[in-house]
Amino acid sequence: MQSKYFVEDSRASFNLQRTILDEPKFGARCCCTLETHWQPSTEWLKGSVKVAEWQQTYYAHDSGIQSGATTVRDDEGTEYSAKKYAVTNTLVENPTEVEAQYTLTRAQRVRAAMFPETLVEGEAVLSTQTDPGQQTNVQRLAEPSQLLKTAIVHLINYQDDAELATRAVPELTKLLADDDAVVVNKAAMIVNQLTRKEASRRVLMQSPQMVAAVVRAMQNTGDMETARCAASVLHSLSHQREGLLAIFKSGGIPALVRMLSSPMESVLFYAITTLHNLLLHQEGAKMAVRLADGLQRMVPLLKKSNPKFLAITTDCLQLLSYGNQESKLIILANGGPEGLVFIMRNYNYEKLLWTTSRVLKVLSVCPSNKPAIVEAGGMQALGQHLTGSSQRLTQNCLWTLRNLSDAATKQEGLDGLLQVLVGQLGSDDVNMLTCATGILSNLTCNNSRNKTLVTQCGGVEALIHAVLRAGEKEDVAEPAVCALRHLTSRHQDAELAQNAVRLHYGIPAIVKLLGQPHYWPVVKATVGLIRNLALCPVNQAPLRDAGAIPRLVNLLLKAHQDTQRHTSSSQQTYQDGVRMEEIVEGCTGALHILARDPVNRGEIASMQTIPLFVQLLYSYVENVKRVSAGVLCELALDKQSAEMIDAEGASAPLMELLHSNNEGIATYAAAVLFRISEDKSSDYRKRVSVELTHSLFKHDPAAWEMVSLCFNQSHRVGNLLTHQVVKGNRDREAQSRQVYCLHYIHHEEVLNSKGIDLLTGRRWHQM
């Protein structure tokens, strides 16, 4: 606590006032006055003289208070000045006196706020601030005024730097071209120092002669320090567009590319960073770097160990290779895929991993780079980063994996990746869902091991949920359905997957995808999936209840009509990139498998489909002929349907198909012919048998002669011909085909639901 004593002359009496500096709870200091009556004495007379002298000082006059001295606050510094001055908070009862006091000290307060350095050390300034949380107008003026002052100082310094550089540039340009290496070194160091200041840097970049001299000095010197200074100069200039243009015009890019072979790390850093700035912001720089063989020098730099340096290098590779096939092939020829995969496998610096994944994403669409990345272990390396915290890295890795996945169907060691992808099917992010379903679709294609693994780790259920969430998003629905189609066929757990689709209520959602509007890639995948699901007898009724049969028939009619319209022009009909012939084949094949169920068979026949199936026997597409003969083979099991098939004139095309080189077509044709001839005369049946036998042995005259001799002993023909066929030198497939057809001749039907894969055309004895 501080106290000062002073006296005041007040008419008849003398009052002694003591001003006490107090610290209230809000932290603002205030003065309170204590009055006591006092009689004059000798000591007082001496004190009055001192007071009179004090009143002549600057403080009393400036404050307008003649009866007291100001109290002094603790020193407080500001960010604008190191000067210290005092502020007094004085509470006075009389408003008139307060107003007068503020008026007299206004100039001082403004000066203290805007130019605090003009105050005398310890000088007191009256404050008008009553609320510590609210600034006064004068205080609000302080910050912008100081900023203005600083800007003026910088402007003065800027002008000085610019004038200095302007005078120095001509002489420094000459010195950089000097024959003495020491002189060149010193000049390069000076120029490097000048580029540290903005004003002098702008002067340098406005001098083409200076920039050209720096470039020449950098590429011609044998001194590493000179090269470092010159590279540093170009690096500093490359932060402004004007500097980039100056470097580009002076031929700096070839020189910088040559610096990428420098043994000095700092030179390498300056060179790659400057080239990176040029590639980002200077038009024409990419082509100039390619022409200077920049890629050939950058790819080997992937062996460096500095993560930040590698991040810049990989970004340069991405900028150069994006949209340029030649650059992608150069990266491949120089071992780029291996180096990039090594980085993804062994580093954890997020920015480096992100830039590297961007390069791999660009290269992954190149047919030549794709297998190289896969062989280098790219699938496994990218899979390591699917569960990290960096969203942008995860997205890049997913897109890259999606691009690579069609080349990795035979790749081993992807168990962990497949499990992670199944887990990501639960994501709500559309991009992540699109990538995960696409990768799973490709990796499960023709790979029974991957199919089994995905099935066992809950992939079927996850894919069904993805289909349900996809709605009308074709980018998710198509690959998800394709993956389900793969999982439901040709592996040891295929039947498990077929049942899983039903158990997880997937059949109604899948059949619904056949409805309007048609997006044909989704339709094609869905038709194939329904065909696979129908292979499981338990699924036949749920598929029928979900309305699969009428939807398949409607799709078949629509696709067939489209193909008929374009038959005259000999052009294949494409919609959304899908041939309508494929839709015809798929729908017919699915109906063939569904027709194995008696109830389904009756429903298919009741929809007037038999005339269409007979017409499809004339198709120019072999697979369409095969599935048409197959569905007719199933329908012919019902006597009424067999009569309808015969009435539609199916015998003629079926007789022709007996001579087909496709075992499936010939076998189904034989089966249909014998089923529709059961009620025919014996002569008709014999003629069919002769025609069939002739087709079987047309390439073996000796066997045909034996058959002719044996037809009179028809009760022995089956065994004799079977023995002859097996005894011959024909291949196993031909033997099997002939034996089966001979059994048909003698009404020993052995073709069953497991005899042939009609959708894919795989030969029946392999199934």
Same-domain status, 90 and 123: yes
At residue 162, the pLDDT reads: 62
Which two three-digit tokens encode residue 563?
């193909």
User: How many Cα neighbours within 13 Å face the side chain of 287?
Assistant: 2
Q: Is residue 530 part of a domain?
A: no
Residue with tokens 């169920």: 597
CB 414 within 8 A of CB 380: yes
- What SS3 class is residue 692? helix
User: How far is Cα 461 from Cα 477, in angstroms, rounded to an integer?
Assistant: 14
Which of 524, 506, 435 is CA-nearest to residue 467? 506
Q: Is residue 281 part of a domain?
A: no
Domain count, the chain: 4
At residue 419, the pLDDT reads: 97
At residue 3, the pLDDT reads: 41
Which two three-digit tokens encode residue 166?
């302007």
Q: Phi and psi of 368, rounded to 5°?
A: -80, -40
Which two three-digit tokens encode residue 361?
């994403």
At residue 129, the pLDDT reads: 66
Q: Is residue 172 part of a domain?
A: no
Domain end position, chosen among 366, 383, 408: 408
- Each residue's pLDDT tens digit, 538-572: 999 999 999 999 999 999 999 999 888 876 655 66
At residue 576, the pLDDT reads: 86
For residue 73, give the DSSP letter: P
User: How far is Cα 363 from Cα 360, in angstroms, rounded to an integer?
Assistant: 5
CB 355 within 8 A of CB 314: yes
- Each residue's pLDDT tens digit, 657-672: 988 888 889 889 988 9
Three-class DSSP labels, 593-628: HHCCCHHHHHHHHHCCCHHHHHHHCCCCCHHHHHHH
Cα distances from 136 to residues 63, 91, 127, 148, 621, in angstroms, run 19, 17, 9, 20, 90
Domain end position, chosen among 455, 489, 505: 505
Q: Is residue 245 part of a domain?
A: no
User: How far is Cα 419 from Cα 455, in angstroms, rounded to an integer?
Assistant: 10
Report which secondary-structure segment, H or E, holds 35.
Answer: strand 30-37
User: How far is Cα 128 from Cα 108, in angstroms, rounded to an integer?
Assistant: 12
Same-domain status, 354 and 471: no
Same-domain status, 753 and 614: yes
Same-domain status, 383 and 453: no
CB 22 within 8 A of CB 32: yes
User: How many Cα neighbours within 13 Å face the side chain of 300?
Assistant: 9
Q: Is residue 130 part of a domain?
A: yes
Domain end position, chosen among 355, 385, 408: 408
Per the structure, the complete domain to which residue 470 belongs is given by 414-505
- CATH number for the domain spanning 762: value is 1.25.10
Which two three-digit tokens encode residue 731?
């291949």
At residue 2, the pLDDT reads: 41
Cβ-count burial 597-631 (b if 16+ within 10 Å, e if not): beebbebbbebebbebbbbbbebebebbbbbbbbb
Single-letter amino acid code for the residue at 307: P
Which two three-digit tokens encode residue 12?
């008849």
Single-letter amino acid code for the residue at 423: G
CB 266 within 8 A of CB 233: no
Cα distances from 175 to residues 351, 417, 739, in angstroms, run 41, 61, 98
CB 300 within 8 A of CB 257: no
Q: Is residue 634 part of a domain?
A: yes
At residue 659, the pLDDT reads: 84
Same-domain status, 27 and 119: yes
Same-domain status, 386 and 455: no
Same-domain status, 387 and 473: no
Which two three-digit tokens encode residue 445?
């294609």
At residue 667, the pLDDT reads: 87
At residue 369, the pLDDT reads: 98
List beta partners, residue 35. 17
Cα 723 to the chain's mean position, in Å? Answer: 64
CB 84 within 8 A of CB 76: yes
Same-domain status, 442 and 380: no
Same-domain status, 402 and 443: no
Cα distances from 398 to residues 99, 429, 431, 519, in angstroms, run 73, 12, 9, 25
Single-letter amino acid code for the residue at 348: N
Sign of the alpha-carbon dihedral angle for 709, 711, 714, 716: positive
DSSP string, 727-756: HSSS-HHHHHHHHHHHHHHTT-----TTS-
User: How far is Cα 684 from Cα 233, in angstroms, rounded to an integer?
Assistant: 99
At residue 93, the pLDDT reads: 53
Which of 597, 594, 513 is CA-nearest to residue 555? 513
At residue 401, the pLDDT reads: 98
- CATH number for the domain spanning 356: value is 1.25.10.10
At residue 757, the pLDDT reads: 37
Report which secondary-structure segment, H or E, holds 95.
Answer: helix 95-104
At residue 729, the pLDDT reads: 39
Is the preceding omega at residue 517 within 30 degrees of 0, hence cis?
A: yes
At residue 44, the pLDDT reads: 46
| Residues of the chain predicted below pLDDT 50 | 1-40, 44-45, 54-55, 57-88, 90, 92, 707, 711-740, 742-767
Same-domain status, 635 and 710: yes
Q: Rounded to the nearest 10 degrees, what angle do helices 241-249 and 224-237 cross at? A: 130
